Amino acid sequence: MHRDSLGTAAPIRPGEVNLMTAGRGIVHSERTGPELRATGSPIHGLQMWVALPAAKEEMEAGFAHHATSEFPVVTGDGKTVRVVIGDLYGTRSPVATTSETIFADVTLKAGSMLPLDASHEERAIYVLRGEVEVAGDRYGADRLLVFRPGDAVSVCAVSDTHFVIVGGAAMDGPRHIWWNFVSSRKERIEQAKAEWKAGHFQKVPGDEIEFIPLPEK
């Protein structure tokens, strides 16, 4: 989060996964193009954030695009699993990570079952659509289910279901969050607040006029 932080206005395209690494600081802008503003359009997306290891918090910021065709897909027995990040079901995503991380997009046909690998320290699923059953209990859409490390877990689809798998290694200590700033050190957040307020962060190309002030609280 220094004054030489990266500013990015990289576009988000349908069928693409965008991975942003904040590192020592990044400024980005999310805009709807004028052609869509005129006609309107539906939006469906899921945004996930992963804490960097403490030793990597000051790494270079970055922004990467990946077409969905780059990610391995596991199919069969009513399941489709797209491995976006990490190592799952005998396949590995091409996305580089700074710690063990898993993220997969899953669809299950009604009556299908998917086991969750117990070798990953932390595992959870977020149900986007449909209904699942885990250990005799049923859960619908918009539910986050977090599982105990080491437990044998299988997800059964009560109806046609869409969910994501998230997890990986546990964080190496607590993190502090204030507005858009995250760090393992409170003093680092105070430094970032002062730099933002003073305008030391780089501007986003093509979006130099607007400035979002630092919140008062």
Could you give phi then psi for residue 16, rounded to 5 degrees?
Answer: -130, 145
CB contact at 8 A, 50 and 101? yes
Give residue-wise pLDDT tens across range 84-128: 999 999 999 999 999 999 999 999 999 999 999 899 999 999 999
Alpha carbons 130 and 107: distance in angstroms, whole number: 10
Question: Is the pLDDT assigned to residue 187 strictly greater than 70?
Answer: yes
Give residue-wise pLDDT tens across range 124-145: 999 999 999 999 999 999 999 9
Per-residue pLDDT band at 1 (split at 50, 70, 90) = very low
Instruction: Report the SS3 class of residue 38.
Output: helix
Indicate the length of the chain as a whole number: 217
Domains and their CATH numbers in the chain: 6-65+174-197 (no CATH), 71-168 (2.60.120.10)
Mean pLDDT (whole number) for 76-91: 96
Amino acid of residue 201: F
In this prediction the pTM is 0.86
